[in-house]
Amino acid sequence: MSGSWGRNIRLSIYGESHGAAVGIILDGVKPGIELDMDFIERQMERRAPGRDSISTSRREQDKVQILSGIKDGVTTGTPINCMIRNQDTRSADYSKQKIIFRPSHSDHTGYVKYRGFNDHRGGGHFSGRITAGLVFAGAFAMQILLQESIVIGSHILKLQKTNEKGFLDCKLTPEMLKELGSMEIPVIDKENVKKIEDEIMLAKSKEDSVGGIVETAVMGIEPGIGDPFFHSVESVLSGLLFAIPAVKAVEFGKGFQFADYEGSQINDEPYMCEDDIKYRSNNNGGVLGGITNGMPLVFKVGVKPTASIGKTQNSVDMEKREDVEFRITGRHDPCIAKRIIPVIESVTALALLDMIMEGKKWD
Ligand SMILES: Cc1cc2nc3c(=O)[nH]c(=O)nc-3n(C[C@H](O)[C@H](O)[C@H](O)COP(=O)(O)O)c2cc1C
């Protein structure tokens, strides 16, 4: 089933938004790795709900409980089960969603797929809450990658009228990516923090929501990671990125902009840098033939406006089998672009770790 992923590290994700807990089982990790719990907690905190006025007011501690696979803070090599309990649930808010489907949410498709047995409360297994386990596993993967000097960072490239310059137009450094990781609202131009907050607060005041584009870069990756065709870096990574709820687009390097150029204007030309090969530009976002070329991996993720909004909308009533107007109650994120960033970085780390492990099979 779709709840499992991975060739070398294997993930099994579980839980429902208003069930007892959410979590992840992470298998294939070698013994003897010391967990950096401070880093993991910081990543969990970045994703957690209820931390500010621009996110949902559902307040969860998001404390991880490790049930297996770690002893005295060190991996044992057996499956790691990380559980995060749900505490602040208000299931009554969702009583209508079983029969009246939220527009742009998964209530209809979940109902059809699971023959009406799906747990609809808070979006059930489709909820953004399920990504908490991914962030635990991803933070752990990031920690391992960091030991190989691989650094991941992201910023909000676009949100309504607020735009930033992209990573391909900046002089990227690992320090810059690390600094972005420490910011509440990660942006290159600090003046955009307030603008983004204002845009989200405006949407919230209108009981509406907004989407955004997140851009992510990875520095320090060796050339030669990934495979052609089905396990290309783009295929593996976008497979995981599209697993994140609310992600509707992924673009590598110049992506759709390639249509505006001629090859002579956009080709990434290699040159000799001492004994290494480097590239004069990075329009392909660090991947050629599905394999990393040693340049930073750069991609964008399109996040849709949160489906659950307070405004009156049109839908269908499954019981009466008729069209209805209705309003959604409950607590929701007016914008997901901020909370989704640690999730994007987590799946990036997991995809890369899995591909790096695959590459090591030849050693
Ligand atoms: C961290 C995070 C938080 C989310 N919070 C909400 C929310 O409060 N309300 C909502 O309608 N959707 C929220 N979503 C998105 C929905 O889960 C998602 O739109 C829904 O399952 C339908 O899937 P799709 O948008 O990928 O098609 C969130 C997603 C993430 C990653």
5 in any annotated domain: no
Could you write out the DSSP letters of every residue in 16-45?
-TTSSEEEEEEE-PPTTPBP-HHHHHHHHH
6 in any annotated domain: no
| The pLDDT value given to residue 59 | 78
Phi, psi of 149 (to 5 degrees): 60, 30
Give the sheet arrangement for strand 212-219, strand by strand: 162-163, 151-159, 212-219, 297-303, 247-252
State the distance from the centre of ligand 1 to the C-alpha of 336, rounded, in angstroms: 7
Q: Which of 61-65, 186-190, 201-205 has the lowest mean pLDDT?
A: 61-65
Phi, psi of 257 (to 5 degrees): -70, -15
3 in any annotated domain: no
Euclidean distance between CA atoms 288 and 363, whole angstroms: 22
The residues, ordered by sequence, that sit 6+ positions from 248 with a Cβ below 8 Å of its Cβ are: 302, 303, 304
60 close to 54: Cβ distance less than 8 angstroms: no
- The first and second tokens of residue 22, run together, are 């959410």
Would you say the CB of residue 308 lies under 6 angstroms from ligand 1? yes
Euclidean distance between CA atoms 315 and 324, whole angstroms: 5
Q: Which of 118-122, 184-188, 307-311 has the lowest mean pLDDT?
A: 118-122
Compute the 3-state secondary structure of the chain and give helix, strand, coil in percent, each to the nearest 5: 35, 25, 40
- The CATH number linked to 16 is 3.60.150.10
Atom of ligand 1 nearest to the CA of 332: 8
Per-residue pLDDT tens for 77-116?
999 999 999 987 776 666 666 789 999 999 999 999 999 8
Euclidean distance between CA atoms 68 and 25, whole angstroms: 9
Atom of ligand 1 nearest to the CA of 247: 26
**CA-nearest residue, atom 20 of ligand 1:** 105
| The pLDDT value given to residue 90 | 72
Please check the confidence at residue 61 and state whether its pLDDT lies above 90: no
344 in any annotated domain: yes
Give the chain's largest Cα–Cα span: 73
- The first and second tokens of residue 291, run together, are 């394999």
71 in any annotated domain: yes
| The pLDDT value given to residue 363 | 83
Of 93, 127, 214, 303, which is best to mutate to test ligand 1, by the most ligand atoms within 8 angstroms of its C-beta?
127
State the distance from the centre of ligand 1 to the C-alpha of 305, rounded, in angstroms: 9
Per-residue pLDDT tens for 135-156?
999 999 999 999 999 999 999 9
- The first and second tokens of residue 258, run together, are 């390639």
106 in any annotated domain: yes
2 in any annotated domain: no
* Number of separate domains in the chain: 1
State the distance from the centre of ligand 1 to the C-alpha of 288, rounded, in angstroms: 32
| The pLDDT value given to residue 319 | 87
1 in any annotated domain: no
306 close to 102: Cβ distance less than 8 angstroms: no
**CA-nearest residue, atom 1 of ligand 1:** 128
Range of the structural domain that residue 147 is part of: 11-362
| The pLDDT value given to residue 218 | 98
Stretch 200-211: mean pLDDT, rounded? Answer: 96
Please check the confidence at residue 272 and state whether its pLDDT lies above 90: yes
Euclidean distance between CA atoms 133 and 11, whole angstroms: 10
Per-residue pLDDT tens for 213-269?
999 999 999 999 999 999 999 999 999 999 999 999 999 999 999 999 999 999 999
Please check the confidence at residue 1 and state whether its pLDDT lies above 80: no
